[in-house]
Structure 1
Amino acid sequence: MSVCKDCFKGQRPPNFLPIADELVCTFETIAGIKCYVGTPTVDYPRDKVVLYLTDAFGLPLVNNQLLVDDFARNGFKTILPDYLNGDGVPLDVMTSGVPFDVPAWIGRHSADVTRPVLDKVIDALKAEGVTSFAAVGYCFGGRYTFDLAFDGVIKAAAVAHPSLLKVPEDIEKYASTSKAPLLINGCELDDQFTPSAQATTDSLLEEFAPGYKREYFERVHHGFAVRGDMSDPKAKAGKEGAFKATVEWFHRYL
């Protein structure tokens, strides 16, 4: 499985701006796993949860926390589990270009290490009465969104610039095994999920009965929905457009 240079690049505040302007949610421990939890301040369905599956920078990246806050503001109980086990890519890799052993990091975060963490959190939430899950996966988290859909864990799926997918194999498997409506927020400048791969995905899922939609944002790079530079009008429009599309998708299908 591969990653690309843009998996580890991007902007943090103040160059990355949230939909709102402050963190409003809380850190909690669920099934022994540290999580960032967004709880709506208005009435919301207690039996539904959005799982926020992060990029390689994980829970410490404020950009991820800000997006959880924004999902909560839009009426979704949203939980970001630390499925990277406190071992996300160091934040200074993003902007300073410090040396970093990518293959070693990938090797420490195989599915047999990371997926059990998600399963523990999901099982604990089920025990509390949650019956419906959606997942939104960014970059590295896109792989796990697909896997949860394959296993029938989630009711709705959304990914933005997913990494680690095999095209067409994973798309063919999605079409044949998943029942979760799928939204893909894609972009033009993406070595991981290229425009060609996006077109192949369209052709394989155009008749996917549960529901399929792909958004496409021009002149933005892999990572735009989480780590884009908000001083760039295209990046700002892409980040906000992907978020809006995901909110609408979950309101429709979760």
Structure 2
Amino acid sequence: MEAISPWALPLLALGCLMAGLEYGGMGHEVQVEHIKAYVTRCPVDAGKAVIVIQDIFGWQLPNTRYMADLISGNGYTTIVPDFFVGQEPWSPTGDWSTFPEWLKTRNARKINKEFDAVLRYLKQQCHAQKIGVVGFCWGGIAVHHVMMTYPELRAGVSVYGIVKDSEDIYSLKNPTLFIFAENDAVIPLEQVSLLTQKLKEHCKVEYQIKTFSGQTHGFVHRKREDCLPADKPYIDEARRNLIEWLNKYI
């Protein structure tokens, strides 16, 4: 039997979650300089915004837009930019043997040009004064990166994402929450332990690392929780933690 990429394993559980998933979204698509983005404006504008960074399935994934709308409903303008800049996202039906090569063309740590454009848009067009960031999977890696790069970000939430290709994984500029899954085939617990150790030794800002028992990669931004009812309490808790972190620091 051909070996399955660890990135593919979450999809085996996501089959029923994605099948027939229809979510149109509460926001609208806009052009932000050289990239497209999905924006949801909060009815009560408090000058707060959250950048939501996509996973490997791209900025149009209904699950990610669902999470952006959920965050927006808690008092934030949210934006989901196309950080692949028009390149095709990964397809659930793709040939996983080609995934490593595909991933090389989409480096989650080389998004500064796009991130700068999004920051300008939020400040100039949405009048955002306080900005945070949330990302899932590939986007979680990007969050880890930008939270070590942009001091102006008030808070970050990295959801099953972690910078692996650097010794410097601890110099966070502002409060960051990391959410992991115990049974994540993409991020072994050894890497979570290393991050925990490095942050404990070196980090000078607030941070928190939470690992949810029994959960797998992708659990937080599933929309159809009823596919796996036993997981719903963990999904609800993780989402609550995410919102509470943003509310505390933005």
Bin the TM-score by the shorter chain: 0.7 to 0.9
1:232 aligns with 2:231: no
Distance 1:112 1:158 in 2: 16
Deviates more, 1:24-33 or 1:103-112: 103-112
1:108 aligns with 2:110: no
- Compute the displacement of 1:144 (Å): 1.4
1:1-254 → structure 2 map (5 Å cutoff): 4-6=6-8, 9=11, 11=14, 23-41=25-43, 43-46=44-47, 48-91=48-91, 93=92, 97-100=93-96, 101-110=98-107, 114-128=111-125, 129-151=127-149, 152-163=151-162, 165-166=163-164, 169-172=167-170, 174=171, 178-206=172-200, 208-227=203-222, 230=225, 231-254=227-250
Q: Higher RCO, 1 or 2 (CA under 8 Å, sep at least 6)?
A: 1
- Compute the displacement of 1:224 (Å): 1.4
- Compute the displacement of 1:12 (Å): 6.9
Query: Could you say what secondary structure the match of 1:171 adopts?
Result: coil
Judged with a 3 Å threshold, the aligned counterparts in structure 2 of structure 1 residues 251 and 88 are, in CA distance, closer, same or farther, namely: farther
Moved >6 Å (runs of 4+) = none
- Compute the displacement of 1:116 (Å): 1.7
Cα contact 1:7–1:56 (8 A) shared by 2: no
Report the residue type matching 1:121 in the other structure. Answer: V
Cα contact 1:183–1:213 (8 A) shared by 2: yes
1:70-89 C-alpha deviation (Å, 9 max, x unpaired): 11111111111011123343
Judged with a 3 Å threshold, the aligned counterparts in structure 2 of structure 1 residues 228 and 194 are, in CA distance, closer, same or farther, namely: farther
Cα contact 2:7–2:186 (8 A) shared by 1: no
Unaligned runs of 5+ in 1: none
- Compute the displacement of 1:14 (Å): 5.6
Quick one: percent identity of the two aligned structures? 23
Unaligned runs of 5+ in 2: none
Judged with a 3 Å threshold, the aligned counterparts in structure 2 of structure 1 residues 130 and 75 are, in CA distance, closer, same or farther, namely: closer
Judged with a 3 Å threshold, the aligned counterparts in structure 2 of structure 1 residues 107 and 38 are, in CA distance, closer, same or farther, namely: same
- Compute the displacement of 1:216 (Å): 1.9
Report the residue type matching 1:232 in the other structure. Answer: L
Cα contact 2:10–2:217 (8 A) shared by 1: no
Structure 2-normalised TM-score? 0.82
Structure 1-normalised TM-score? 0.81
